[in-house]
Amino acid sequence: MTEDAPLEDLIREGRIGTFAPARIGGHDVLVETDPIGTSVYQIRGERVLTLRGNKGYREEIVAALLDAVDDLADADDLGSIVRLRPIEVPGFALDRAALLGPGHTAFFKDKPLADRGMQVIPVHRSEAVDGEEYATFWPGVIGRNLGIRQLDWTREPSPRADVRRLDDGEGGLYRRKGSRRSPKAGTVTAKTVLKHDLPGLLDGVRLSAMDVRGHDLRLHREWDRLRGTLHLPGGSEVVDVDIPRLSALAVFGPLFAGADFDAAALAAASASPPEDMLEMRVNDEGRRRYDNEAHPASLEECLEWLRALCPHDGNFLVFVGRSGGCVQMMWQSKPESQEPRLWLETPELEHGRSRGRHVTLDEAEQMITVLAREDRVAVDDLGDLEHVPF
């Protein structure tokens, strides 16, 4: 079909759904229904505005989306900028209409409609930034970074964080292998950063996590605490942060979801008692885990790894306490006819040796527990120790 064909004919071309004219709210539209969902087209002169909903499609949502962007859709200079407008629909969790201009939609990919087609998508205010580039918007809402199914109108919001490394360490979290720079922020769910990344930060790693309004959380881990600052939008205020490493989601999750900063929640978390934890290194051939660096782990997680570690010759665990005391253990099964036995020791670097013996799992559990709770290497409590030179 030629480019000068009627716009409605171009829309229908190659589509498998059933088309019917309709009036939704105050808007004359063309509705396409197919086995998966519903597409709505509003012809506006030489351009067409579309939206699509699969699960949870409702006409009141369609009307709200079209109303929200009605004053924008005929502008000549939409370009690659994403425009957000508020919407409010009872029983609908999303509260913004995101308008995508011609040439920058997830729906119209082929000419001539790609150059004449616009799209409006329902999003939450915690997921996108008004005025941001389509290239920045796309990975989170249309791509997979936020885990959003943007055609599912029953979905819950997926608050976003733009994350950047602040330290000059090489490779690792949010950095290419071999690189010491983070030229571009990564877009991920705020929950990923607050619940998983921040509590597990390695020594020396500093992260910036920013919400869509400009709240910039800059933190590093010091043992069981996350320390740093929260920069409020516009540089108006900087708030000191010193909280348990596992409390970031509870303290800052609502902020990244669009709520106001809660100073009382921060103060309450700051007063929390120390966590029973260790830094742990795992080598488990069966699970293909070979840690090069120690990772923070709760006492519960450490004990779970003790019980889960495959009793294969050479598999080991290393635990380090707050003051640097170390307890390490390795499964040994040589000669091959022997049942595997667990060797536990503490290194004495100043003497070039270690002290230890073979232990039961219960004895190993006790050594780990004392190290985590009392910050004490209790290997001497076992008795009958051997000295093994390095």
Identify the bridge partners of residue 222 per DSSP, sorted by sequence position: 225
Q: What pLDDT is stored for residue 2 in this prediction? A: 63
pLDDT band at 299 (very low <50, low <70, confident <90, very high): very high
From CA 260, how far away is CA 240, in angstroms rounded?
17
From CA 123, how far away is CA 212, in angstroms rounded?
13
Domain ranges of the chain: 7-141, 160-270, 277-389
- 227 contacts 219 by C-beta, under 8 angstroms: yes
pLDDT at 109 over 80: yes
Average pLDDT of the chain to the nearest whole number: 95
Of 139, 125, 79, the residue nearest 104 (C-alpha) = 79
From CA 27, how far away is CA 240, in angstroms rounded?
51
Query: Structure pTM?
Result: 0.90
Q: What pLDDT is stored for residue 307 in this prediction? A: 97
Q: What percent of the chain has pLDDT over 90?
A: 85
Q: Report the Cα 65 to chain-centroid distance in Å.
A: 28
Of 373, 50, 381, 347, the residue nearest 224 (C-alpha) = 373
Q: Which of 26-35, 173-182, 213-222 is predicted with the least confidence, judged by mean pLDDT?
A: 173-182
From CA 342, how far away is CA 312, in angstroms rounded?
10
Q: What pLDDT is stored for residue 237 in this prediction? A: 93
Q: What totals of helices (H) and strands (E) does the chain contain, helices first?
A: 9, 21
pLDDT at 111 over 90: no
pLDDT at 1 over 70: no
Strand-strand pairing, 83-86 and 96-100: antiparallel
From CA 286, how far away is CA 314, in angstroms rounded?
11
For 59, 122, 165, the CA distances from 128, given in Å and listed in that order, are 24, 11, 21
Give the mean model confidence (pLDDT) for residues 306-317.
96
- 197 contacts 173 by C-beta, under 8 angstroms: yes
What tens digit of pLDDT does each residue of 229-258 get? Answer: 999 998 779 999 999 999 999 999 999 999
Residues in the chain: 390
Q: What pLDDT is stored for residue 249 in this prediction? A: 98
Q: In what order do the strands lie in the sheet with 96-100?
A: 18-24, 27-33, 38-44, 47-53, 117-123, 96-100, 83-86
What tokens appear for 225 in the block?
């605490």
What tens digit of pLDDT does each residue of 129-175 get? Answer: 999 999 999 999 999 999 999 999 999 999 999 999 999 998 888 88
